[in-house]
Amino acid sequence: MLDQIHLLAAVTVLGVLEQAYFFLQVIYARRAFGISPPKSSGPPEFERIFRAQVNSSEYFPIFLALLWQAGLFFHQGVAAGLGLLYLCARYCYFIGYRTSSSKRLPAIYFGTGILWILIAASALGIIHFFLSHYMGLNVLQLLTV
């Protein structure tokens, strides 16, 4: 079973490490700007870093859910490759957002595009499974005939 998920697991752990990096940046920013918890508002420079982390945290379960469905039902290698691209896009988003609000945009468009590809891959894989499981239709076989 593990050989069907080891690439997904590796990307998952890399994603956790990236989240840890984002959390650390917020801790450093709290110290630099003197903003102690539970406060979460402050100068725009701090709020941009804070919001970048919050946004990345909100997307993390969505990313994992899609990574694993696409990896299990479409193709593990493709899903893991897209997952790595997404983690890169998230990193660029964070670095860009820290500089200015507008600099987060290219990376967020790219990252969101990857998530939509993962949604499409998951949906195709699951629909393909439903067709073959419930109706005995093998679409890939039909297309090649």
Interaction site with a copy of itself (CB under 8 A): 1-6, 9-10, 12-13, 15-17, 19-20, 36-40, 44, 47-48, 50-52, 54, 57-58, 60-62, 64-66, 69, 72-73, 97, 101, 104, 115, 119, 122-123, 126, 129-130, 133
Supply 58's token pair.
């909100």
Q: CB nearer to a copy of itself: give 74 or 144.
A: 74
Shortest gap between Cβ of 98 and a copy of itself (angstroms)?
Answer: 11
Annotated active-site positions, please?
31, 104
Shortest gap between Cβ of 134 and a copy of itself (angstroms)?
Answer: 10
Q: CB nearer to a copy of itself: give 35 or 88.
A: 35
Q: CB nearer to a copy of itself: give 34 or 58.
A: 58
Please tell me whether the peptide bond between 38 and the residue prior to it is cis, using omega within 30 degrees of 0: yes
Q: Is 11 exposed, middle or buried (0-12, 13-18, 19+ CB in 10 A)?
A: buried
